């Protein structure tokens, strides 16, 4: 599968992501953090058990 010009003239060159891939991952991680903070902040507080 790696001999010749490949399918329709395209060749595989291995994993070589563009610089925007790192920005995308950073933005997604930031969104997960913001969502987690929002979920934790929106939880109702449970009353602490009374100690006798």
CA distance 19 to 23: 7
| Per-residue pLDDT tens digits of the chain, which is 52 residues long | 455 666 666 666 666 667 788 889 999 999 999 999 999 999 888 887 877 6
CA distance 32 to 26: 10
CA distance 27 to 34: 11
How much is the pTM? 0.54
């Amino acid at each position: 599968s790696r001999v010749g010009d490949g399918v329709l003239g395209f060749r595989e060159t291995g994993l070589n992501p563009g610089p925007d891939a790192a920005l995308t991952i950073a933005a997604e991680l930031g969104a997960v953090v913001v969502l987690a903070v929002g979920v934790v902040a929106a939880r109702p507080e449970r009353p602490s058990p009374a100690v006798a």
